[in-house]
């Protein structure tokens, strides 16, 4: 390995910087693909750091956390998913100043739309579809909420399951080096869907709780603030870090928002179901 190929890629999120070390340019490129929208901003270093190592031809790749090996194999997709999840966990696990929520976020017509949901709810699929309609992608997995109501998204490539990749394949066409594909899905660079990307995050105005049910028609239903608050608490990752488990902050967040639940089983009828949210969209991001 020649001099200058090794280095450290700092990944930043409010209150935390995670150091990811790499041993060559191929490893650095994969890390950059995942985290280049999360630059370090002077926050303290996290207690855990990670090493990404590429070696051999064809490359065998691995992730290490100190002496613990987290992955070894040949799948860049599998390594990327594990590394993204580990870094995300490190960024939020000890956060006592921001409420971490499992939620996708996009900007449509200068309004931030939040899509809270646990794993398998369809928030990444819905985020990808909305991005293809011209909404500006912010995150498909996690946001931080400050006590003042400011949203900070964990902006990473969209993580799509195989059925979503197949359903959107004609729209995604061939993403080339803007995607990593594996047996369990694909990571798609969000700029593949939004070539002109601003990254702006206006105050949230709409919250939609998606539920994917195969074969179900798309149905958008208004819900009450009380129901939205209850469902939002189930998506609160760092609730244990707050004295009231974040209940007051969640109550403030839903107050004044347009609140909906959405059941959908595909993309063919989403446009008509989401017309109340999309008809006012005139800008393309």
SS3 labels along 135-194: CEEEECCEEEECCCCCEEECCCCEEECHHHHHHCHHHHCCCHHHEEEECCEEEECHHHCC
Given a cut of 50, the residues of the chain with pLDDT beneath it are 1-4, 281-285
**Residue 117: which domain range?**
99-278
Residues 92 and 144 sit within 8 Å (Cβ to Cβ): yes
* Residues 229 and 122 reside in one and the same domain: yes
Which of 92, 109, 124 finishes a domain? 92
H/E run at residue 158: strand 158-160
CA-closest candidate to residue 65, choices 18, 12, 30: 18
Q: Quickly tell me which residue has 């990444």 as its tokens.
A: 124
* Residues 208 and 274 reside in one and the same domain: yes
* Residues 150 and 61 reside in one and the same domain: no
| pLDDT at 165 (0 to 100) | 84
| pLDDT at 85 (0 to 100) | 96
| pLDDT at 167 (0 to 100) | 82
Q: Quickly tell me which residue has 């398998």 as its tokens.
A: 120
Q: Is residue 173 part of a domain?
A: yes
| pLDDT at 284 (0 to 100) | 35
Which of 72, 92, 112 finishes a domain? 92
* Residues 143 and 254 reside in one and the same domain: yes
H/E run at residue 65: strand 60-65
Residues 101 and 237 sit within 8 Å (Cβ to Cβ): yes
Q: For residue range 212-229, what is the model confidence (pLDDT) as tens digits? A: 998 899 999 999 999 999
CATH assignment of the domain containing 264 = 3.40.50
| pLDDT at 277 (0 to 100) | 82
Q: How many domains does the chain have?
A: 2
Eight-state DSSP code of residue 239: G
123 to each of 6, 7, 114, 225, 262, how far by Cα in Å? 36, 34, 9, 20, 10
Give the integer Cα–Cα distance in Å for 25 and 9. Answer: 12
Which of 40, 70, 92 finishes a domain? 92
CA-closest candidate to residue 135, choices 208, 48, 237: 208
Q: Is residue 35 part of a domain?
A: yes
* Residues 125 and 259 reside in one and the same domain: yes
Prediction pTM value: 0.91
Burial state string for 19-52 with b = 16 or more CB within 10 A and e = fewer than 16: bbbbbbeebbebbebbbebbebeeeeebeebbbb
Q: For residue range 226-265, what is the model confidence (pLDDT) as tens digits? A: 999 999 999 999 999 998 999 999 999 999 899 999 999 9
219: helix, coil or strand? strand
* Residues 74 and 186 reside in one and the same domain: no
Q: Is residue 1 part of a domain?
A: no
Give the integer Cα–Cα distance in Å for 162 and 143. Answer: 24
Q: Is residue 110 part of a domain?
A: yes
* Residues 81 and 177 reside in one and the same domain: no
| pLDDT at 4 (0 to 100) | 47
H/E run at residue 89: helix 76-92
* Residues 219 and 141 reside in one and the same domain: yes
* Residues 145 and 58 reside in one and the same domain: no
* Residues 263 and 130 reside in one and the same domain: yes
What the block records as the tokens of 152 is 């900070």
| pLDDT at 72 (0 to 100) | 97
* Residues 164 and 193 reside in one and the same domain: yes
* Residues 69 and 168 reside in one and the same domain: no
């Amino acid at each position: 390995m020649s001099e200058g190929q090794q280095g450290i890629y700092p990944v930043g999120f409010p209150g935390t910087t995670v150091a990811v070390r790499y041993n060559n340019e191929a490893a650095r490129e994969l890390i950059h693909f995942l985290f280049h929208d999360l630059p370090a901003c002077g926050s303290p270093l996290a207690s855990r750091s990670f090493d990404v190592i590429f070696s051999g031809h064809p490359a065998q790749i691995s992730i290490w956390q100190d002496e613990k090996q987290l992955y070894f194999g040949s799948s860049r997709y599998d390594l990327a998913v594990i590394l993204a999840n580990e870094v995300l966990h490190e960024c939020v696990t000890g956060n006592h100043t921001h409420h971490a929520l499992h939620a996708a976020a996009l900007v449509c017509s200068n309004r931030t739309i939040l899509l809270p949901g646990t794993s398998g709810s369809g928030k990444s699929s819905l985020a990808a579809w909305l991005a293809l309609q011209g909404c500006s992608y912010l995150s498909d997995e996690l946001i931080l909420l400050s006590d003042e109501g400011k949203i900070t998204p964990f902006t990473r490539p969209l993580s799509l399951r195989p059925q979503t990749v197949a359903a959107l394949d004609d729209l995604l066409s061939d993403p080339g080096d803007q995607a990593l594909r594996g047996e369990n899905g694909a990571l798609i660079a969000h700029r593949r869907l939004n070539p002109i990307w601003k990254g702006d995050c206006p105050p949230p105005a709409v919250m939609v709780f998606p539920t994917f049910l195969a074969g179900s028609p798309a149905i958008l239903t208004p819900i009450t603030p009380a129901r939205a608050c209850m469902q939002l608490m189930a998506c609160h990752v760092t609730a244990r870090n707050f004295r009231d488990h974040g209940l007051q902050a969640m109550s403030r967040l839903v107050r004044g928002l347009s609140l909906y639940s959405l059941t959908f089983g595909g993309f063919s009828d989403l446009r008509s179901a989401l017309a109340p949210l999309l008809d006012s969209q005139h800008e393309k991001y």
